[in-house]
Chains A and B, each alone.
Chain A
């Protein structure tokens, strides 16, 4: 369970990126974070994933107060999450297999056990036949799916994706969203940020709409 209470984030020398946000996300929920670009979606996700700490307010993840944790404890909190970044952040100096291997090696999982998990993750996103391929040779949609494979390989309870369908055409985008739905159905909490408010609204899931850093009700049209 993720609880944000009165969370404000201000970066030095700029306005509040997020103002007094309060909400709860239950285990196994699917949540869309919507809003125009620069509305604070990425900031919100970073706060949830313990990458950034709030300027004020509390962030609770499974009843642990991230704001109060020592810096040295943060890496262990971050391992609870699977992250899909806006810009993929794939490593182009190694093949698909080794890209997916990274979170496992951080967790100290190597060898046979890791191999099985990596292939399972690649299989889930339909890239099993590309394990030796370099990421640069993949299409945009395939790169996105590789990023998802890396996010899910250590079987996180919470999956967070920042604009996962941002640069993809409609067919690819719905493929990707189907993938996230599948993860939610097996019990993962899924949090997706998207500027595509209408598409998100149609999905009948919980929506957190941000407008200039303030949580508001989304304008649901028709």
Chain B
């Protein structure tokens, strides 16, 4: 075994035995780190789940076309035929202006207004449900519909989708801020823990330096400890966030089924697992390095 490997395993063993001897405090520190990490993870998973919704719901985008008033029924029929043969159209319904007026007249408030009108102001309309999410083919279709004879207006009904996207963007920014702030919290917690450990091991450090320990020999176990706190905290964070999401998912699925859809929040996948643990480990390592460099090596040299 190379010297380098011996030194690493030596430091790792030391850290593990220290963790084992102070199991309770190790668990509590890791939990404190985990809570800080779990919050951004949960927010991420919620956002991720909702951006999944926007892609699936795009297929339910609607296009409404309103025809010119007094349109000839042969023109109307030809529009009907074009729509029926179009591949990007899932289905459509035709609402003649008489029916639209009927529907409008169903409420009494509107009846009063309509009573004052001498003719039906409403146009004939097609309500189209699209089969594609591709924005290019949607806009191509829209263009085609606009230029057709007898079409007065084309409306793409995706305003709510835009709003949801804006909300998601705001959510992502909030998550970013959360990651930064709580990243600092983790940094501080680990740094403080390492500083405390350095204090309790002050004598050992001093003696070791006197009898020939190098700086890296003394620094190494603390760096491992910092990274280990990060990793354990990351694992706990994934457990916490999974637990929270499972807890909420029951109610969310129930709510979604009331809207005749299926929706649930995602559980952390492998990428989330890897990102969380690696980020936490790197924060731990940096924090420990800073703590060690600041607190050690004051007594000698």
Residues 67-113 (chain A) with a chain B CB within 8 angstroms: 71-72, 74-79, 81, 83, 85, 89, 91, 93, 102-103, 105-108, 110
Which of A51, A72, A89 makes the CB contact (< 8 A) with B203?
A89
Q: Which of B110-118, B124-132, B179-187, B208-216 contacts A (4 or more CB under 8 A)?
A: B208-216
Write the chain B residue with the least CB distance to A85. Answer: B210
Across the interface, do A51 and B208 meet the contact criterion of CB distance under 8 Å? no
Please measure, in the bound complex, the distance between the C-alpha atom of A51 and the C-alpha atom of B203, giving whole angstroms: 16
Residues 187-218 (chain B) with a chain A CB within 8 angstroms: 203-204, 206-215, 217
Question: Told that A78-B210, A102-B211, A110-B10 touch, could you supply 20 new A-B pairs with CB distance under 8 A?
Answer: A49-B210, A51-B210, A72-B214, A72-B215, A75-B215, A76-B212, A76-B214, A78-B212, A79-B212, A81-B211, A89-B207, A89-B210, A91-B207, A102-B204, A103-B212, A106-B212, A106-B213, A106-B217, A108-B3, A108-B6
Write the chain A residue with the least CB distance to B204. Answer: A91
Residues 97-143 (chain A) with a chain B CB within 8 angstroms: 102-103, 105-108, 110
Please measure, in the bound complex, the distance between the C-alpha atom of A110 and the C-alpha atom of B211, giving whole angstroms: 17
What residues of chain A lie closer than 8 Å to B10, measured between beta carbons?
A: 105, 108, 110
Which of B204, B213, B214, B300 makes the CB contact (< 8 A) with A51?
B300
Which of B6, B211, B301 makes the CB contact (< 8 A) with A71?
B301
What residues of chain B lie closer than 8 Å to A110, measured between beta carbons?
A: 6, 10
B13 CB → nearest A CB, Å: 8
What residues of chain B lie closer than 8 Å to A106, measured between beta carbons?
A: 208, 211-213, 217
Please measure, in the bound complex, the distance between the C-alpha atom of A77 and the C-alpha atom of B211, giving whole angstroms: 9
Write the chain B residue with the least CB distance to A108. Answer: B6
Contact with B along A147-160 (1 / 0, CB 8 A): 00000000000000
What residues of chain A lie closer than 8 Å to B301, measured between beta carbons?
A: 71, 74
Interface presence of B262 (CB below 8 A): no
Write the chain A residue with the least CB distance to B7. Answer: A108
What residues of chain B lie closer than 8 Å to A91, measured between beta carbons?
A: 203-204, 207
Size bin of chain B's contact surface:
10 to 19
Across the interface, do A75 and B214 meet the contact criterion of CB distance under 8 Å? yes
Please measure, in the bound complex, the distance between the C-alpha atom of A102 and the C-alpha atom of B7, giving whole angstroms: 14
Please measure, in the bound complex, the distance between the C-alpha atom of A108 and the C-alpha atom of B11, giving whole angstroms: 10
Across the interface, do B210 and A83 meet the contact criterion of CB distance under 8 Å? yes
**A–B complex contacts, Cβ < 8 Å, 13 sampled:** A71-B301, A72-B215, A75-B213, A75-B214, A75-B217, A76-B212, A81-B211, A91-B207, A102-B208, A105-B10, A107-B212, A108-B3, A108-B6
B112 CB → nearest A CB, Å: 90
B41 CB → nearest A CB, Å: 37
B213 CB → nearest A CB, Å: 5
Please measure, in the bound complex, the distance between the C-alpha atom of A76 and the C-alpha atom of B216, giving whole angstroms: 13
For B206, B207, B209, B212, the residue with the greatest tally of chain A CB atoms inside 10 Å of its CB is B212
Which of A71, A75, A85, A89 makes the CB contact (< 8 A) with B212?
A75
Across the interface, do A83 and B211 meet the contact criterion of CB distance under 8 Å? yes
**Nearest 6 CB-CB pairings of A with B:** A79-B212, A78-B212, A75-B214, A106-B213, A75-B212, A89-B207
Across the interface, do A103 and B211 meet the contact criterion of CB distance under 8 Å? yes
Please measure, in the bound complex, the distance between the C-alpha atom of A125 and the C-alpha atom of B203, giving whole angstroms: 24
Please measure, in the bound complex, the distance between the C-alpha atom of A72 and the C-alpha atom of B215, giving whole angstroms: 8
Please measure, in the bound complex, the distance between the C-alpha atom of A49 and the C-alpha atom of B212, giving whole angstroms: 10
What residues of chain B lie closer than 8 Å to A105, measured between beta carbons?
A: 10
B131 CB → nearest A CB, Å: 68
What residues of chain B lie closer than 8 Å to A102, measured between beta carbons?
A: 204, 207-208, 211
A11 CB → nearest B CB, Å: 14
Write the chain A residue with the least CB distance to B300. Answer: A51
